[in-house]
């Protein structure tokens, strides 16, 4: 009877019977949690932060153990003191709805200490990683997972690597603000991508600075195959247009580029003026020098 009530309660978040079964099999500790003493008080607090039922469903799927945490002993002292945690995020530029989204995206944030965990990471990002005061709120809202990273074992290591590539301090801060995931990657996975970019693709560092999401794509499954297609067809694209599209969209871009070049060369063979020649004649006709 107790388990039946738990299943029924969890289904109120939009989970199917199969979803609940998988959830309880993955985290059987949930079966030992009281609905009245653990779940309902937590749900009340989450509602206070503007988190919807759909948001709570996602939190259950991402981090079900949050629903086993003792609210009074663990969460309330660290998170729900509005004069500390919420005000801190608001002060650095995170909007109220952004705080709710952060908790949904990264539920462990519920259990973090502001002074021992969150504030030190924010200070590091601003003083050692180049994230500006203007961008820090956006950075944290986009990547709350950074707050769970070790400063010494992860953040410092990654910052040193990017700076060693020749990226300027302020440039790195902008890159991190736009794509916080940069500081969470394993450097051993970054190195071969960077070597391929610089040595095989012969791209300048500026291309990476403009599109740091380059590091998010698979070297073997996307970067190398698409680069080979561009070489074979003698076309070139900025990294964003090369990678941030589906396979079908990429093939169409290549085909359009090849067709445009064919028509251009055909016009040259037939003696037709190119766009640049036409513009030059028009400019001279208007009295240009």
Of 168, 184, 200, the residue that ends a domain is: 184
Residue 222 belongs to some domain of the structure: no
Asked whether the beta carbons of 57 and 98 are under 8 A apart, the reply is: no
Measured distance CA(58)–CA(14) in Å, rounded: 10
Report residue 284 as tokens: 């001279």
State the CATH number of the domain containing residue 41: 1.25.70.10
Residue 27 Rama label (left phi>0; alpha psi -120 to 50; beta): beta
In terms of domains, do 90 and 18 share one? yes
d(CA 230, CA 274): 24
**How far apart are the C-alpha atoms of 115 and 126, rounded to whole Å?**
16
pTM of the complete model: 0.81
Mean pLDDT of the chain: 87
Domain co-membership, 101 together with 166: no
Q: CA-CA distance, 259 to 83, in Å (whole number)?
A: 62
Are the C-beta atoms of 202 and 168 separated by less than 8 Å? no
Q: How far apart are CA 15 and CA 239, in angstroms?
A: 39
Residues of the domain holding 92: 1-110
Q: How many domains does the chain have?
A: 2
Find out whether 145 and 106 touch, Cβ atoms under 8 Å.
yes
Give the integer Cα–Cα distance in Å for 59 and 50: 14
Does any domain span residue 9?
yes
Residues 49 and 117 in one domain: no
CB 101 within 8 A of CB 141: yes
Span 38-71, pLDDT tens digits: 888 888 878 877 888 899 999 988 888 888 877 6
Residue 80 and residue 117 in one domain: no
Look at residues 146, 207, 148, 151 and name the one whose alpha carbon lies nearest to residue 179. 146
Among candidate residues 186, 205, 185, the one with its CA nearest the CA of residue 195 = 205
* Same domain assignment for residues 105 and 122: no
Evaluate whether residue 271 is within a structural domain.
no
**What is the C-alpha separation between 288 and 85, in angstroms, rounded?**
63
Domain contains 245: no
Distance from C-alpha of 153 to C-alpha of 42, rounded to nearest angstrom? 32
- Pick from 173, 162, 98: nearest CA to 133: 173
Are 29 and 60 found together in one domain?
yes
228 lies in some domain: no
Per-residue pLDDT of the chain (289 residues), as tens digits, is 456 788 888 888 888 888 888 888 888 888 888 888 888 888 887 887 788 889 999 998 888 888 887 766 666 555 545 447 788 999 999 987 888 899 899 988 887 888 899 999 999 999 999 999 999 999 999 999 999 999 999 999 999 999 999 999 999 999 999 999 999 999 999 999 999 999 999 999 999 999 999 999 999 999 999 999 999 999 999 999 999 999 999 999 999 999 999 898 888 887 655 554 444 434 334 344 3
């Amino acid at each position: 009877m107790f388990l039946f009530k738990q299943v029924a309660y969890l289904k109120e978040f939009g989970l199917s019977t199969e979803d609940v079964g998988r959830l309880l099999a993955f985290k059987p500790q949930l079966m030992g949690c009281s609905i009245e003493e653990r779940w309902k008080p937590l749900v009340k607090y989450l509602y206070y932060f503007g988190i919807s039922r759909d948001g709570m469903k996602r939190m259950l799927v991402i981090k079900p153990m949050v629903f086993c945490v003792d609210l009074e002993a663990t969460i309330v002292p660290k998170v729900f003191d509005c004069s500390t945690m919420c005000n801190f995020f608001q002060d650095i530029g995170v909007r109220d709805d952004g705080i709710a989204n952060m908790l949904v995206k990264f539920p462990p944030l519920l259990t973090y200490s502001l002074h021992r965990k969150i504030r030190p990471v924010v200070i590091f990002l601003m003083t050692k990683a180049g994230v500006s005061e203007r961008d820090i709120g956006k950075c944290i809202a986009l990547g709350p997972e950074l707050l769970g990273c070790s400063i010494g074992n992860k953040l410092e290591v990654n910052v040193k690597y990017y700076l060693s590539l020749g990226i300027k301090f302020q440039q790195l801060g902008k890159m991190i603000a736009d794509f916080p995931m940069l500081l969470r990657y394993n450097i051993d996975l970054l190195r071969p991508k960077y070597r391929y970019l610089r040595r095989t693709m012969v791209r300048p560092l500026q291309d990476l600075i403009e599109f740091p999401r380059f590091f998010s794509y698979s070297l073997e499954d996307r970067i190398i195959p698409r680069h080979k297609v561009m070489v074979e067809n003698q076309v070139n694209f900025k990294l964003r247009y090369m990678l941030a599209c589906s396979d079908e969209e990429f093939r169409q871009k290549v085909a359009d580029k090849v067709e445009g070049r064919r028509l251009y060369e055909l016009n040259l063979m037939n003696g037709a003026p190119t766009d640049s020649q036409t513009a030059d004649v028009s400019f001279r006709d208007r009295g240009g020098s």
